[in-house]
Amino acid sequence: GQQVMQIPQYQHVQEGEDFTTYCNSSTTLSNIQWYKQRPGGHPVFLIQLVKSGEVKKQKRLTFQFGEAKKNSSLHITATQTTDVGTYFCAAVTGNQFYFGTGTSLTVIP
């Protein structure tokens, strides 16, 4: 069945450092979505990538979809304490959503 792995599982960074989380699927995806969950909160949709090799930016966040549509990455430039939370990718194939294992980001002031 579909497996979606994210690495790393945890990441601690100093405020101002960059951060990257990677999402890998065992199969080719229709598209991929990214969500952020603040501590004690619920997942909130960030973005969807559809095209092979697609790159999208939201302020300090850069999202990339792999050429083979099997992997994706989220990069945050110059992290801030407001970036704290768990970042999930969600692989979309047909009618199914498969959430990744998540990467928990801690930003040290």
The answer to whether 106 contacts other proteins (rule: CB under 8 A) is no
**24, 88 Cβ separation under 8 angstroms:** no
Supply the minimum distance, in Å, between the C-beta of residue 53 and other proteins: 18
**Whole-angstrom Cα distance, residue 19 to residue 25?**
20
The answer to whether 45 contacts other proteins (rule: CB under 8 A) is yes
The answer to whether 102 contacts other proteins (rule: CB under 8 A) is yes
The answer to whether 88 contacts other proteins (rule: CB under 8 A) is yes
The H-or-E segment that residue 97 falls in is strand 96-99
**73, 20 Cβ separation under 8 angstroms:** yes
Other beta carbons less than 10 A from residue 44's beta carbon: 11
The window from 13-21, 37-45, 60-68, 71-79 that contacts other proteins (CB under 8 A) reads 37-45
Give the interface with other proteins as residue ranges (CB under 8 A): 31, 33, 35, 41-45, 48, 50, 88, 90, 92, 95-99, 101-102
